[in-house]
Structure 1
Amino acid sequence: MPVLTAEGLTKTHGRTEALRGASVELRAGEILAVSGASGSGKSTLLHCLAGITRPDGGSVVYAGQRLDTLPEKRLSELRRTEFGVLFQFGQLIPELTALDNVALPLMLAGISRGAAHVRAYEWLERFGVRGQSELRPGEMSGGQAQRVALARALVTEPKVVFADEPTGALDSLASEDVMTALTHTVREAGTAVLLITHDAQVAAYADREVELRDGTVLVPSDAQAMEVVR
Protein backbone atom coordinates (compact mmCIF):
# COMPACT_ATOMS: atom_id res chain seq x y z
CA MET A 1 0.00 0.00 0.00
CA PRO A 2 1.30 3.48 -0.83
CA VAL A 3 1.95 5.71 2.16
CA LEU A 4 2.83 8.76 0.08
CA THR A 5 1.84 9.60 -3.49
CA ALA A 6 2.77 12.55 -5.68
CA GLU A 7 1.12 13.27 -9.02
CA GLY A 8 2.22 15.74 -11.67
CA LEU A 9 4.39 17.95 -9.47
CA THR A 10 5.68 21.20 -10.93
CA LYS A 11 7.93 23.73 -9.22
CA THR A 12 9.77 26.75 -10.57
CA HIS A 13 12.61 28.62 -8.88
CA GLY A 14 12.88 31.94 -10.64
CA ARG A 15 13.28 31.01 -14.31
CA THR A 16 14.35 27.46 -13.54
CA GLU A 17 11.80 24.64 -13.81
CA ALA A 18 12.95 22.29 -11.06
CA LEU A 19 10.01 19.87 -11.44
CA ARG A 20 8.03 19.35 -14.64
CA GLY A 21 5.22 16.96 -13.85
CA ALA A 22 7.07 14.45 -11.68
CA SER A 23 5.07 11.64 -10.09
CA VAL A 24 6.17 9.02 -7.59
CA GLU A 25 4.75 6.57 -5.09
CA LEU A 26 6.34 5.54 -1.79
CA ARG A 27 5.06 2.27 -0.40
CA ALA A 28 4.68 1.44 3.26
CA GLY A 29 7.87 0.02 4.74
CA GLU A 30 10.01 0.36 1.61
CA ILE A 31 13.21 2.24 0.95
CA LEU A 32 12.89 4.10 -2.35
CA ALA A 33 16.00 5.67 -3.85
CA VAL A 34 15.58 8.65 -6.16
CA SER A 35 18.76 9.11 -8.15
CA GLY A 36 19.78 11.65 -10.73
CA ALA A 37 22.43 14.13 -11.73
CA SER A 38 23.08 17.31 -9.78
CA GLY A 39 20.43 19.89 -10.63
CA SER A 40 17.86 17.31 -11.75
CA GLY A 41 15.36 18.42 -9.09
CA LYS A 42 15.90 15.67 -6.51
CA SER A 43 16.03 17.92 -3.45
CA THR A 44 13.10 19.99 -4.68
CA LEU A 45 11.09 16.79 -5.04
CA LEU A 46 11.95 15.75 -1.49
CA HIS A 47 11.02 19.17 -0.11
CA CYS A 48 7.64 19.02 -1.82
CA LEU A 49 6.97 15.49 -0.58
CA ALA A 50 7.94 16.39 2.99
CA GLY A 51 5.77 19.49 3.04
CA ILE A 52 8.78 21.79 3.38
CA THR A 53 7.98 23.47 0.05
CA ARG A 54 4.63 23.72 -1.69
CA PRO A 55 4.62 22.66 -5.35
CA ASP A 56 3.27 25.08 -7.93
CA GLY A 57 1.11 22.34 -9.39
CA GLY A 58 0.16 18.71 -8.87
CA SER A 59 -0.72 16.93 -5.64
CA VAL A 60 0.97 15.22 -2.70
CA VAL A 61 -1.15 12.79 -0.68
CA TYR A 62 -0.08 11.29 2.64
CA ALA A 63 -2.40 9.03 4.63
CA GLY A 64 -5.40 10.38 2.74
CA GLN A 65 -4.42 14.03 3.25
CA ARG A 66 -3.44 16.51 0.54
CA LEU A 67 -0.16 17.85 1.92
CA ASP A 68 0.03 20.55 -0.72
CA THR A 69 -3.16 22.15 0.62
CA LEU A 70 -2.68 21.66 4.37
CA PRO A 71 -2.09 24.73 6.55
CA GLU A 72 1.50 25.29 7.70
CA LYS A 73 0.61 24.51 11.31
CA ARG A 74 -0.54 21.01 10.37
CA LEU A 75 2.50 20.46 8.15
CA SER A 76 4.80 21.45 11.00
CA GLU A 77 3.00 18.99 13.26
CA LEU A 78 3.50 16.18 10.75
CA ARG A 79 7.21 16.99 10.44
CA ARG A 80 7.52 16.84 14.23
CA THR A 81 5.66 13.57 14.70
CA GLU A 82 5.24 11.43 11.57
CA PHE A 83 8.05 12.63 9.31
CA GLY A 84 11.79 12.48 9.92
CA VAL A 85 14.21 14.48 7.78
CA LEU A 86 17.92 13.79 7.35
CA PHE A 87 19.97 16.28 5.34
CA GLN A 88 23.39 15.98 3.69
CA PHE A 89 25.13 18.14 6.28
CA GLY A 90 22.95 17.08 9.21
CA GLN A 91 21.88 20.65 9.97
CA LEU A 92 22.36 20.13 13.68
CA ILE A 93 21.97 23.25 15.81
CA PRO A 94 25.60 24.26 16.49
CA GLU A 95 24.90 25.77 19.93
CA LEU A 96 23.30 22.58 21.27
CA THR A 97 24.97 19.39 22.44
CA ALA A 98 24.34 16.13 20.61
CA LEU A 99 21.95 15.13 23.39
CA ASP A 100 19.90 18.30 23.14
CA ASN A 101 19.85 18.15 19.34
CA VAL A 102 18.31 14.68 19.47
CA ALA A 103 15.94 15.56 22.30
CA LEU A 104 14.68 18.73 20.61
CA PRO A 105 12.00 17.12 18.37
CA LEU A 106 10.57 15.34 21.42
CA MET A 107 10.44 18.52 23.47
CA LEU A 108 8.78 20.37 20.59
CA ALA A 109 6.14 17.61 20.63
CA GLY A 110 5.43 18.35 24.29
CA ILE A 111 7.58 15.72 26.01
CA SER A 112 9.35 16.87 29.18
CA ARG A 113 13.07 17.61 29.01
CA GLY A 114 13.94 14.72 31.35
CA ALA A 115 11.92 12.15 29.41
CA ALA A 116 13.24 13.51 26.11
CA HIS A 117 16.81 13.13 27.33
CA VAL A 118 16.21 9.52 28.34
CA ARG A 119 14.96 8.65 24.87
CA ALA A 120 17.69 10.72 23.21
CA TYR A 121 20.38 8.81 25.14
CA GLU A 122 18.85 5.54 23.94
CA TRP A 123 19.01 6.63 20.31
CA LEU A 124 22.54 7.99 20.60
CA GLU A 125 23.60 4.66 22.05
CA ARG A 126 21.84 2.79 19.27
CA PHE A 127 23.96 4.63 16.72
CA GLY A 128 27.18 4.36 18.69
CA VAL A 129 27.55 8.05 19.62
CA ARG A 130 26.39 8.15 23.22
CA GLY A 131 29.96 9.02 24.17
CA GLN A 132 29.56 12.23 22.16
CA SER A 133 26.32 13.25 23.92
CA GLU A 134 27.82 16.36 25.54
CA LEU A 135 29.74 17.48 22.46
CA ARG A 136 28.54 20.18 20.09
CA PRO A 137 28.47 19.55 16.33
CA GLY A 138 31.74 21.40 15.72
CA GLU A 139 33.50 19.09 18.17
CA MET A 140 32.53 15.86 16.36
CA SER A 141 33.74 14.17 13.20
CA GLY A 142 31.51 14.27 10.14
CA GLY A 143 30.46 10.65 10.61
CA GLN A 144 29.65 11.18 14.29
CA ALA A 145 27.62 14.30 13.55
CA GLN A 146 25.66 12.52 10.84
CA ARG A 147 24.84 9.63 13.16
CA VAL A 148 23.58 12.20 15.68
CA ALA A 149 21.46 13.73 12.91
CA LEU A 150 20.16 10.25 12.09
CA ALA A 151 19.21 9.73 15.74
CA ARG A 152 17.39 13.06 15.69
CA ALA A 153 15.49 12.11 12.51
CA LEU A 154 14.34 8.81 14.02
CA VAL A 155 13.85 9.65 17.70
CA THR A 156 10.14 10.39 17.21
CA GLU A 157 9.73 7.00 15.46
CA PRO A 158 8.31 8.56 12.29
CA LYS A 159 6.33 6.73 9.67
CA VAL A 160 8.32 8.27 6.81
CA VAL A 161 11.96 9.37 6.69
CA PHE A 162 13.16 11.77 4.01
CA ALA A 163 16.93 11.44 3.53
CA ASP A 164 18.52 14.03 1.24
CA GLU A 165 22.01 12.88 0.20
CA PRO A 166 22.60 11.63 3.78
CA THR A 167 26.15 10.49 3.04
CA GLY A 168 27.16 13.17 0.53
CA ALA A 169 29.59 14.83 2.95
CA LEU A 170 31.11 11.59 4.31
CA ASP A 171 33.98 9.34 3.30
CA SER A 172 33.21 5.81 2.11
CA LEU A 173 33.66 4.16 5.52
CA ALA A 174 31.48 6.67 7.38
CA SER A 175 28.95 6.49 4.55
CA GLU A 176 28.67 2.73 4.93
CA ASP A 177 28.27 3.05 8.70
CA VAL A 178 25.46 5.59 8.37
CA MET A 179 23.59 3.68 5.66
CA THR A 180 23.89 0.38 7.55
CA ALA A 181 22.53 2.03 10.70
CA LEU A 182 19.73 3.73 8.80
CA THR A 183 18.55 0.70 6.83
CA HIS A 184 18.75 -1.67 9.80
CA THR A 185 16.69 0.65 11.97
CA VAL A 186 13.98 1.49 9.46
CA ARG A 187 13.53 -2.10 8.33
CA GLU A 188 13.18 -3.18 11.94
CA ALA A 189 10.52 -0.50 12.51
CA GLY A 190 8.77 -0.81 9.14
CA THR A 191 9.46 2.84 8.35
CA ALA A 192 9.22 4.06 4.76
CA VAL A 193 12.24 5.97 3.44
CA LEU A 194 12.60 8.32 0.49
CA LEU A 195 16.33 8.37 -0.20
CA ILE A 196 17.78 11.07 -2.46
CA THR A 197 21.21 10.16 -3.79
CA HIS A 198 23.51 10.37 -6.79
CA ASP A 199 25.70 7.56 -5.42
CA ALA A 200 25.03 4.10 -6.85
CA GLN A 201 26.49 2.44 -3.74
CA VAL A 202 24.03 4.30 -1.53
CA ALA A 203 21.12 3.57 -3.87
CA ALA A 204 21.98 -0.13 -3.61
CA TYR A 205 20.64 -0.12 -0.04
CA ALA A 206 17.14 0.63 -1.38
CA ASP A 207 14.37 -1.81 -2.29
CA ARG A 208 13.55 0.14 -5.43
CA GLU A 209 15.21 2.89 -7.43
CA VAL A 210 13.89 5.49 -9.83
CA GLU A 211 15.74 8.19 -11.71
CA LEU A 212 14.76 11.85 -11.95
CA ARG A 213 15.83 13.53 -15.17
CA ASP A 214 15.53 17.29 -15.52
CA GLY A 215 12.54 17.28 -13.17
CA THR A 216 10.43 15.74 -15.91
CA VAL A 217 10.23 11.96 -15.79
CA LEU A 218 10.97 9.36 -13.16
CA VAL A 219 12.45 6.36 -14.94
CA PRO A 220 13.19 2.99 -13.28
CA SER A 221 16.88 2.18 -13.41
CA ASP A 222 16.01 -1.47 -14.04
CA ALA A 223 12.84 -1.73 -16.10
CA GLN A 224 12.64 -5.50 -15.64
CA ALA A 225 12.65 -5.26 -11.85
CA MET A 226 10.64 -2.10 -11.27
CA GLU A 227 7.40 -0.61 -12.49
CA VAL A 228 7.39 2.45 -14.69
CA VAL A 229 6.79 5.62 -12.69
CA ARG A 230 5.51 8.47 -14.81
Structure 2
Amino acid sequence: MSNQVPLLAARGLAKRHGRTKALRGASIELGAGEILAVTGASGSGKSTLLHCLAGIVRPDEGSVVYAEQRLDQLPEKRLSELRRTEFGVVFQFGQLIPELTALDNVALPLLLAGVRRGKAHERAGEWLERFGVRGQEALRPGEMSGGQAQRVSMARALVTGPKVVFADEPTGALDSLAGEQVMTALVHTARESGTAVLLITHDAQVAAYADREVWLRDGVVSEDATALEVAQ
Protein backbone atom coordinates (compact mmCIF):
# COMPACT_ATOMS: atom_id res chain seq x y z
CA MET A 1 0.00 0.00 0.00
CA SER A 2 1.09 3.58 -0.64
CA ASN A 3 0.66 6.43 1.84
CA GLN A 4 -2.80 7.16 0.44
CA VAL A 5 -5.83 6.53 2.63
CA PRO A 6 -7.06 2.99 1.86
CA LEU A 7 -10.50 2.51 0.38
CA LEU A 8 -11.16 -0.38 2.77
CA ALA A 9 -9.32 -1.09 6.01
CA ALA A 10 -9.82 -3.53 8.86
CA ARG A 11 -8.08 -3.39 12.22
CA GLY A 12 -7.85 -6.11 14.84
CA LEU A 13 -10.67 -8.30 13.55
CA ALA A 14 -11.68 -11.19 15.78
CA LYS A 15 -14.49 -13.59 14.95
CA ARG A 16 -15.61 -16.82 16.59
CA HIS A 17 -17.76 -19.59 15.17
CA GLY A 18 -18.86 -21.36 18.32
CA ARG A 19 -15.63 -22.23 20.12
CA THR A 20 -13.50 -21.86 17.01
CA LYS A 21 -11.56 -18.62 16.56
CA ALA A 22 -11.69 -17.93 12.82
CA LEU A 23 -10.00 -14.52 13.09
CA ARG A 24 -7.56 -13.51 15.81
CA GLY A 25 -6.76 -9.83 15.36
CA ALA A 26 -6.58 -9.70 11.55
CA SER A 27 -5.74 -6.33 9.95
CA ILE A 28 -5.75 -5.57 6.24
CA GLU A 29 -5.95 -2.63 3.79
CA LEU A 30 -7.21 -2.40 0.21
CA GLY A 31 -6.49 0.61 -1.99
CA ALA A 32 -8.80 2.06 -4.64
CA GLY A 33 -8.34 0.12 -7.87
CA GLU A 34 -5.97 -2.39 -6.25
CA ILE A 35 -6.18 -6.14 -6.78
CA LEU A 36 -5.21 -7.84 -3.52
CA ALA A 37 -4.91 -11.60 -3.03
CA VAL A 38 -5.45 -13.16 0.39
CA THR A 39 -4.02 -16.65 0.43
CA GLY A 40 -3.91 -19.37 3.05
CA ALA A 41 -4.74 -22.97 3.70
CA SER A 42 -8.29 -24.26 4.00
CA GLY A 43 -9.67 -23.34 7.42
CA SER A 44 -7.33 -20.37 7.90
CA GLY A 45 -10.23 -17.89 8.11
CA LYS A 46 -10.13 -16.50 4.56
CA SER A 47 -13.87 -16.63 3.89
CA THR A 48 -14.68 -15.27 7.34
CA LEU A 49 -12.36 -12.34 6.65
CA LEU A 50 -14.09 -11.63 3.34
CA HIS A 51 -17.53 -11.80 4.97
CA CYS A 52 -16.46 -9.28 7.62
CA LEU A 53 -14.93 -6.94 5.04
CA ALA A 54 -18.03 -7.08 2.83
CA GLY A 55 -20.39 -6.41 5.73
CA ILE A 56 -22.01 -9.84 5.43
CA VAL A 57 -21.17 -10.69 9.05
CA ARG A 58 -20.06 -8.45 11.90
CA PRO A 59 -16.77 -9.11 13.68
CA ASP A 60 -16.82 -9.80 17.40
CA GLU A 61 -13.96 -7.33 17.83
CA GLY A 62 -12.16 -4.77 15.70
CA SER A 63 -13.24 -2.31 13.03
CA VAL A 64 -13.95 -2.30 9.29
CA VAL A 65 -13.82 1.12 7.60
CA TYR A 66 -14.97 1.64 4.03
CA ALA A 67 -14.85 5.15 2.54
CA GLU A 68 -14.78 6.63 6.07
CA GLN A 69 -17.78 4.55 7.21
CA ARG A 70 -17.57 1.99 10.02
CA LEU A 71 -19.17 -1.04 8.38
CA ASP A 72 -19.19 -2.93 11.67
CA GLN A 73 -21.45 -0.22 13.14
CA LEU A 74 -23.80 0.45 10.22
CA PRO A 75 -27.44 -0.72 10.35
CA GLU A 76 -28.30 -3.71 8.17
CA LYS A 77 -30.37 -1.58 5.80
CA ARG A 78 -27.33 0.55 4.93
CA LEU A 79 -25.12 -2.54 4.60
CA SER A 80 -27.62 -4.09 2.19
CA GLU A 81 -27.61 -0.89 0.16
CA LEU A 82 -23.81 -0.93 -0.06
CA ARG A 83 -23.82 -4.55 -1.18
CA ARG A 84 -26.31 -3.67 -3.93
CA THR A 85 -24.50 -0.59 -5.21
CA GLU A 86 -20.84 -0.33 -4.17
CA PHE A 87 -19.85 -3.93 -3.45
CA GLY A 88 -19.93 -6.94 -5.74
CA VAL A 89 -19.46 -10.50 -4.50
CA VAL A 90 -18.40 -13.59 -6.46
CA PHE A 91 -18.49 -16.99 -4.78
CA GLN A 92 -16.77 -20.24 -5.73
CA PHE A 93 -19.95 -21.76 -7.16
CA GLY A 94 -21.41 -18.54 -8.53
CA GLN A 95 -24.72 -18.75 -6.66
CA LEU A 96 -26.73 -17.77 -9.72
CA ILE A 97 -30.51 -18.04 -9.43
CA PRO A 98 -31.36 -21.33 -11.22
CA GLU A 99 -34.72 -20.19 -12.56
CA LEU A 100 -33.33 -17.06 -14.24
CA THR A 101 -31.53 -16.78 -17.56
CA ALA A 102 -27.98 -15.43 -17.75
CA LEU A 103 -29.34 -12.06 -18.85
CA ASP A 104 -31.83 -11.86 -15.98
CA ASN A 105 -29.23 -12.98 -13.42
CA VAL A 106 -26.91 -10.15 -14.46
CA ALA A 107 -29.74 -7.61 -14.67
CA LEU A 108 -31.12 -8.49 -11.23
CA PRO A 109 -28.96 -6.08 -9.14
CA LEU A 110 -29.96 -3.24 -11.46
CA LEU A 111 -33.65 -4.14 -11.23
CA LEU A 112 -33.39 -4.23 -7.43
CA ALA A 113 -31.84 -0.76 -7.58
CA GLY A 114 -34.83 0.54 -9.52
CA VAL A 115 -33.40 0.55 -13.05
CA ARG A 116 -36.04 -0.01 -15.72
CA ARG A 117 -36.08 -3.50 -17.22
CA GLY A 118 -35.13 -2.44 -20.75
CA LYS A 119 -32.14 -0.42 -19.55
CA ALA A 120 -31.14 -3.15 -17.08
CA HIS A 121 -31.16 -5.77 -19.84
CA GLU A 122 -29.17 -3.50 -22.12
CA ARG A 123 -26.45 -3.00 -19.51
CA ALA A 124 -26.51 -6.67 -18.56
CA GLY A 125 -25.91 -7.59 -22.19
CA GLU A 126 -22.94 -5.22 -22.35
CA TRP A 127 -21.37 -6.87 -19.31
CA LEU A 128 -21.96 -10.36 -20.66
CA GLU A 129 -20.09 -9.25 -23.78
CA ARG A 130 -17.20 -7.92 -21.67
CA PHE A 131 -16.86 -11.32 -20.04
CA GLY A 132 -17.05 -13.18 -23.35
CA VAL A 133 -20.45 -14.81 -22.88
CA ARG A 134 -22.52 -12.74 -25.28
CA GLY A 135 -24.88 -15.10 -27.08
CA GLN A 136 -25.55 -17.06 -23.89
CA GLU A 137 -28.24 -14.66 -22.61
CA ALA A 138 -31.06 -17.21 -22.71
CA LEU A 139 -29.17 -19.99 -20.93
CA ARG A 140 -30.08 -20.90 -17.37
CA PRO A 141 -27.35 -21.88 -14.88
CA GLY A 142 -28.02 -25.61 -15.34
CA GLU A 143 -27.35 -25.24 -19.06
CA MET A 144 -23.98 -23.49 -18.65
CA SER A 145 -20.48 -24.86 -18.21
CA GLY A 146 -18.71 -23.98 -14.97
CA GLY A 147 -16.61 -21.36 -16.73
CA GLN A 148 -19.64 -19.76 -18.36
CA ALA A 149 -21.53 -19.64 -15.06
CA GLN A 150 -18.59 -18.00 -13.29
CA ARG A 151 -18.25 -15.38 -16.03
CA VAL A 152 -21.96 -14.62 -15.66
CA SER A 153 -21.46 -14.33 -11.88
CA MET A 154 -18.64 -11.85 -12.42
CA ALA A 155 -20.73 -9.83 -14.87
CA ARG A 156 -23.48 -9.70 -12.23
CA ALA A 157 -20.97 -8.56 -9.58
CA LEU A 158 -19.69 -5.71 -11.77
CA VAL A 159 -22.87 -4.57 -13.54
CA THR A 160 -23.69 -1.91 -10.93
CA GLY A 161 -20.22 -0.33 -11.21
CA PRO A 162 -19.09 -1.26 -7.68
CA LYS A 163 -16.02 0.22 -6.01
CA VAL A 164 -14.99 -3.19 -4.63
CA VAL A 165 -15.46 -6.77 -5.81
CA PHE A 166 -15.00 -9.55 -3.25
CA ALA A 167 -14.09 -12.82 -5.00
CA ASP A 168 -14.10 -15.92 -2.79
CA GLU A 169 -12.19 -18.78 -4.49
CA PRO A 170 -13.64 -17.73 -7.87
CA THR A 171 -11.78 -20.49 -9.77
CA GLY A 172 -12.04 -23.20 -7.13
CA ALA A 173 -14.69 -25.17 -9.04
CA LEU A 174 -13.06 -24.78 -12.46
CA ASP A 175 -10.39 -26.62 -14.40
CA SER A 176 -7.10 -24.81 -15.00
CA LEU A 177 -7.97 -23.50 -18.48
CA ALA A 178 -11.40 -22.19 -17.47
CA GLY A 179 -9.86 -20.71 -14.31
CA GLU A 180 -7.24 -18.86 -16.33
CA GLN A 181 -9.86 -17.50 -18.71
CA VAL A 182 -12.08 -16.34 -15.85
CA MET A 183 -9.22 -14.62 -14.01
CA THR A 184 -7.98 -12.93 -17.17
CA ALA A 185 -11.48 -11.58 -17.79
CA LEU A 186 -11.90 -10.41 -14.19
CA VAL A 187 -8.55 -8.63 -14.00
CA HIS A 188 -8.94 -6.98 -17.40
CA THR A 189 -12.44 -5.75 -16.56
CA ALA A 190 -11.44 -4.54 -13.09
CA ARG A 191 -8.50 -2.59 -14.52
CA GLU A 192 -10.73 -1.09 -17.19
CA SER A 193 -13.35 0.06 -14.69
CA GLY A 194 -11.00 1.01 -11.84
CA THR A 195 -12.62 -1.50 -9.50
CA ALA A 196 -10.70 -2.79 -6.47
CA VAL A 197 -10.70 -6.57 -6.05
CA LEU A 198 -10.20 -8.56 -2.87
CA LEU A 199 -9.34 -12.05 -4.06
CA ILE A 200 -9.54 -15.01 -1.68
CA THR A 201 -7.61 -18.01 -2.95
CA HIS A 202 -5.41 -20.94 -1.97
CA ASP A 203 -4.00 -21.15 -5.52
CA ALA A 204 -0.63 -19.47 -6.15
CA GLN A 205 -1.38 -19.18 -9.87
CA VAL A 206 -4.56 -17.24 -9.14
CA ALA A 207 -2.79 -15.04 -6.57
CA ALA A 208 -0.21 -14.14 -9.24
CA TYR A 209 -2.86 -12.03 -10.98
CA ALA A 210 -2.94 -9.63 -8.02
CA ASP A 211 -0.91 -6.46 -7.45
CA ARG A 212 -0.13 -7.59 -3.92
CA GLU A 213 -0.48 -10.72 -1.84
CA VAL A 214 -0.97 -11.23 1.88
CA TRP A 215 -1.11 -14.47 3.80
CA LEU A 216 -3.64 -15.59 6.39
CA ARG A 217 -2.84 -18.30 8.90
CA ASP A 218 -4.89 -19.13 11.98
CA GLY A 219 -6.76 -15.86 11.67
CA VAL A 220 -3.72 -13.58 11.42
CA VAL A 221 -2.70 -11.58 8.31
CA SER A 222 0.87 -10.86 7.23
CA GLU A 223 2.57 -9.54 4.10
CA ASP A 224 5.53 -11.76 4.97
CA ALA A 225 4.85 -15.48 4.83
CA THR A 226 7.94 -16.24 6.94
CA ALA A 227 6.71 -13.88 9.65
CA LEU A 228 3.61 -16.02 10.03
CA GLU A 229 5.75 -19.10 10.54
CA VAL A 230 7.71 -17.35 13.27
CA ALA A 231 4.59 -15.90 14.93
CA GLN A 232 2.90 -19.26 15.11
Matching residue within 179, 184, 187 for 1:180: 184
Partner secondary structure for residue 205 of structure 1:
coil
> Which residue of the partner structure matches residue 13 of structure 1?
17
What are the ranges of 5 or more consecutive residues in structure 2 without an aligned counterpart? Answer: 228-232
Distance 1:218 1:134 in 2: 44
Question: Which structure 2 residues correspond to residues 1-230 of structure 1 after superposition, within 5 A?
Answer: 1=4, 2-221=6-225
What are the ranges of 5 or more consecutive residues in structure 1 without an aligned counterpart? Answer: 224-230
What's the TM-score once normalised by structure 2's chain length?
Answer: 0.94
Does the C-alpha gap of structure 1 residues 31 and 221 become closer, same or farther in structure 2, counting only changes over 3 Å?
A: farther
Aligned structure 1 segments of 4 or more residues deviating by more than 2 angstroms: 216-223
Does the C-alpha gap of structure 1 residues 15 and 222 become closer, same or farther in structure 2, counting only changes over 3 Å?
A: closer
What's the TM-score once normalised by structure 1's chain length?
Answer: 0.95
Give a deviation string over 1:111-161, Cα, whole Å, max 9, x none. 011110000011111111121111110000000000000100000110001
| TM-superposed deviation, 1:222 | 8.4
- CA-atom RMSD, angstroms? 1.1
Does the C-alpha gap of structure 1 residues 116 and 37 become closer, same or farther in structure 2, counting only changes over 3 Å?
A: same
Does the C-alpha gap of structure 1 residues 186 and 222 become closer, same or farther in structure 2, counting only changes over 3 Å?
A: farther
Give a deviation string over 1:67-101, Cα, whole Å, max 9, x none. 00000000000000000101100000011110000
> Which residue of the partner structure matches residue 228 of structure 1?
none
Distance 2:199 2:221 in 1: 17
| TM-superposed deviation, 1:217 | 3.5
Does the C-alpha gap of structure 1 residues 217 and 126 become closer, same or farther in structure 2, counting only changes over 3 Å?
A: closer
Partner secondary structure for residue 104 of structure 1:
helix
Distance 2:99 2:60 in 1: 35
Residue identity over aligned pairs, in percent, reads 83
Partner secondary structure for residue 21 of structure 2:
strand
Whether the 8 Å contact between 1:11 and 1:18 is mirrored in structure 2 is yes
Whether the 8 Å contact between 2:39 and 2:216 is mirrored in structure 1 is yes
Whether the 8 Å contact between 2:106 and 2:152 is mirrored in structure 1 is yes
Instruction: Report how many aligned residue pairs link the two structures.
Output: 223
Question: Structure 2: which amino acid aligns with 1:163?
Answer: A
